[in-house]
A and B are shown apart, each in its own frame.
Chain A
Amino acid sequence: MVFFLQMVFAGLSVGAVYALIALGLNLTFWTTRVLNFGQGSVLMIGAMLTAVLIAYGVNLLLAVLIALVAAGLVLVVTEMVAIRPLLKASGSMGWVVSTLGVGVFLQGLASLVFGTQAVAFPDVLFSSSATLQIFGAWVSVQYIAVFVISVVIVGLMELFLRRSTWGYGVRAVAHDRELASLMGIPVRKVVLLSFVVSGVLAGVAGILTSQISGTVDPGFGLHLLILAFVAAVVGGMGSAVGALIAGLGLGVLEKLIAGYYSPAAAQTVAFVLLVVVLAVRPQGLLGKKETVKV
């Protein structure tokens, strides 16, 4: 029972991070119907820069700030270099390949600069040895912190999208890009903003995940991208609440299967879940059906 609870708490913690990444994927999907296949490397850049800067003695907050700015910048550059030029030809999926290319490039660059070995990730949030007892199970305080931070950010994002002017802009562009442009909404700025925020969310998620796992390496992030995509799809592409629920559910499922069986089995289950949901209910649990335009 204690083991079960520990797995559930660990699952909630990583699940919240999946939701965070999924929200980042959703944001650019809303504004451009595109998402970054190299997002895994953005997670890695966020975590890697934080770890390396702190190791060089940079102040913790400053290190995190620099890492997040870098993550946001990466996505802006991705949009300008690998997405916009390729969206001109309609129906082309070249952007899938080119964004993956950005991810592969960043992975190569990180291996070159920081080496291919895993780098130890410092204690940014509390100490890795600090634990709390909940219902008899010892839970790392870091897990709890990661969970709380992720859920709060998802909540704030939801508030931002529903209440702020920029949030209205994002939703208007998501609804109908041309109409939004006619209504005087600065579509270009909204699109860039969505990419910046997507990058920052990925950076935060990278730091939080590395805090739990304790290390970061250049190949880090791809698994997280895929699990976050599963969360986004299962929750319904375009639904932030759906992504949170699906993310948490997926995290718990993954940890339970990994704990009782094996990590590879957990990933296989997540993959099968993705195939089944897409085949049975392609709009996800909370998403709306997309209508065809002729």
Chain B
Amino acid sequence: MNPLHMLGKAISSPWLVGGLCVAAAAGASFVDQGTVQMWCFLIVNIMLAQSINVLTGIAGQISLGHAGFLAIGSYASAILLKDYGLPFPLAIAASALISAAVGYVLAIPSGRVREFYLAMMSLAFGLIVYELVREWRGMTGGVMGMRGIPSPGLGTLELFGWRISPEWYFRIMLISLIGLMLMLRNFVKSHFGRAFYAIHVSEIAAGSLGISQGGTKRFAYALSGGIAGLAAGFYAFMVGYITPESFTLMRSVEILVMAVVGGLGSLVGQVLGASLFTYLPQQLQAFSDYQYIVYGLILVFSFTLLPRGLAGLLGTHTRYSKHDQLCGQVPDLDTVLSQRSGGGQALVEVRDVVMNFSGLRALDGVSLTVRRGTVTGLVGPNGSGKSTLVNVISGIYTPTAGGVRFKDEEIAGWPAHRVARAGVTRTFQDPRNVPSFSVRENILMGAHRLYAHGAFAASVNSAAARREEGRFLARTAALMEAAGLSAYADDPVGDLPYGIQRLVEVARALASDPELLLLDEPAAGLSDTEAERLMALVRMARDHGVGVMLIDHHMDFLEELVDEVVAFDAGQEIYRGDMAGMRDDPTVIEAYLGKEETSHA
């Protein structure tokens, strides 16, 4: 084993971390005040790095203005305590809430614009907060800063008559940090963590599973802002004196550097990154002279040279399911899919759908119905509009004209995640899994729309959260069994052969317990055994009353499965009926093979 990886294992061991924390908490009484202050600084930096990690490492959004959150939180908690007499834990909590609200507002345009717009907005945000705290003298003290904030260092911070000493302040911070990190660990392993990561890696696939791009990004910004606000609250009382100069762009860059060097995506990595950049500037005078140059170079090269940071070097991995936590607690399976009644009833009705792309008419008046418990095949040459139809039904495109009725609702024009939540799940022509997720995590992600427990329950692993995650883990295991994927359960999907990736995507779609399943060329590139397994999965869905729409070019494969087949050419239906009839239909033959020369007869 790589010695670095052994070191990584050692430092992420709960015994070592727990031991260190206890030692630090006890030791705080025996070291000088400067050291305790330094430890407090470290905790603030770890919290800030975690805040970036949630946003950038997990959700893939970038903040270049985190000092803005730090400033808002610091001034808010200081003012709330100084001028309004709020007890300090409440002031800190309020500071976290205010920063979270600001993060949410900042992310309002997300989901509609390219991500780097938000990054630029965050840069602007950091700059403007800095300008505002300088100018808003009445509130913040302007460039002179705000003095006289009750602080444990000065012996002026009290809570209901208890004067808090620096050691106790450190202990309170340490306990808060441990609580925060435990909650973050559980959060990342929950369906929220998977959703964050999914919008990072593939927004379109995330949408097809009911994960809202905009909503998830706003949540990520709010959570990140909230954590930064928590750090800010502790910071303000710790230093007792804040000036705008603590919240410059350079501070934002410093926080970013800690997170990037520590290792984006890793909770442990953030502790390492924050420790390095809390102590290094203290130890090396040269470091502070060349700070800009060093930070600049780190930001330029770290992504190419050390993409996963120190955490990557130490071989730590972040897992996105509670499989490890719930080991042995996974319950017996109730059902893989719900048994749905009403076989033969119309499930989705497409009426006269027209889809234009700047002059190109991809669908030209298409109507069809898929019924519960039946499989409808779509065939036609490439470019005939089959995938476009799937994209229209699943909400990726809004049709130019016509309607789509699913159950009792008109869904044409709904965003993809809303269509998915209503019970329509699809796969893609090229599989869109999360490559770094294991097979288990990918399939479990399919169940996203079915989760009922909230973010707090997920973070504290409440009984309801454990029960629900356990139930879906059991379902995932059963699906892996049915699809023949159990042997790969914990392998990253990106490393597996193409056929397996396809099966994973189909199993993921089934994990959502869909009512309508849209499969876009699922059999392409599958071996015979894999195709057999795929057929078994499709039959299982059909037998449970799921309506299936299946695009494929393999006629033998379709023959085995479909109840009805619809053939397309140039955006129009040219045939509808059974497979045998289609094989003999002259229009279909012409569309696929071209017109036979008959003139020389």
Task: Give A residues with C-beta under 8 Å from B.
Answer: 33-35, 37, 81-82, 85-86, 91-94, 96-98, 100-109, 111-112, 222-223, 226, 229-230, 233, 262-265, 267-268, 271, 274-275, 278-279, 282, 290-292, 294
B125 within 8 A of A: yes
Within 8 Å of chain A (Cβ to Cβ): is B526?
A: no
Partner of A274, one of B115, B124, B290, B300: B124
Cβ contacts under 8 Å, B299 to chain A: 97-98, 100-101, 104
B292 adjacent to A93 (CB under 8 Å): no
Interface SS majority for chain A: helix
- Measured CB to CB, the closest approach of chain A to B141, in angstroms, equals 15
Interchain residue pairs with CB less than 8 A apart (27): A33-B114, A81-B300, A93-B60, A93-B115, A97-B299, A98-B299, A101-B297, A103-B296, A104-B253, A104-B295, A105-B293, A108-B290, A108-B294, A108-B296, A112-B290, A112-B293, A226-B124, A233-B117, A265-B135, A274-B121, A275-B121, A282-B113, A282-B117, A290-B114, A291-B357, A294-B387, A294-B396
B435 to chain A, nearest CB (A): 11
Which residues of chain A have C-beta atoms less than 8 A from B108's C-beta?
275, 278-279
Residue from the list B125, B127, B295 in contact with A101, Cβ < 8 A? B295
CB distance from B399 to the nearest CB of A (A): 14
Asked, given contacts A96-B62, A97-B62, whether A37 binds B120 with beta carbons under 8 Å apart, the answer is yes
Query: For the complex, is B411 an interface residue (Cβ under 8 Å from A)?
Result: no
A264→B131 contact, CB < 8 A:
yes
State whether B298 touches A101 (Cβ < 8 A). yes
Query: Complex: how many Å from CA A85 to CA B301?
Result: 10
Within 8 A of A (CB), among B280-314: 290-301, 303-304
A101 in contact with B64 (CB, 8 Å) = no
Number of interface residues of B (CB under 8 A): 53
Known: A93-B116, A279-B109. A107 touches B124 (CB 8 A): no
Contact across chains for A37 and B112 when beta carbons are under 8 A apart: no
Q: Find B128's partner among A85, A92, A103, A271 (CB 8 Å cutoff).
A: A271
Q: Which residues of chain B from 365 to 382 have a CB within 8 Å of any chain A CB?
A: none
Contacts A104-B253, A271-B124; A292 near B204 (Cβ below 8 A): yes
Give me the interface of B with A, judged by CB distance under 8 Å.
60-62, 64, 105-106, 108-109, 112-117, 119-121, 123-125, 127-128, 131-132, 134-135, 200-202, 204, 249, 253, 256, 260, 290-301, 303-304, 357, 387, 391, 396, 428
Contacts of A268 in B (CB 8 A): 128, 131-132
Q: Which residue of A lies closest to B122 (CB)?
A: A96
Q: Could you tell me the distance between the alpha carbons of A278 and B128 in the complex, rounded to whole angstroms? A: 18
Cα distance, A24 to B129, chains bound together (Å) = 27
Q: CB distance B292 to A292 under 8 Å? A: no
Inter-chain CA distance A267–B135, complex, in Å, is 12
Given contacts A86-B303, A264-B132, A282-B113, 12 further A-B contacts (CB under 8 A): A96-B62, A98-B301, A105-B292, A105-B293, A105-B295, A108-B291, A109-B293, A111-B292, A222-B123, A222-B249, A271-B124, A294-B204
Sorted from nearest, which 6 A-B pairs have the closest CB atoms? A108-B292, A105-B296, A101-B299, A278-B109, A104-B296, A108-B293
Bound: A106/B295 CA distance, A: 11
Residues in B whose Cβ lies below 8 Å from that of A278: 108-109, 112-113, 117, 121
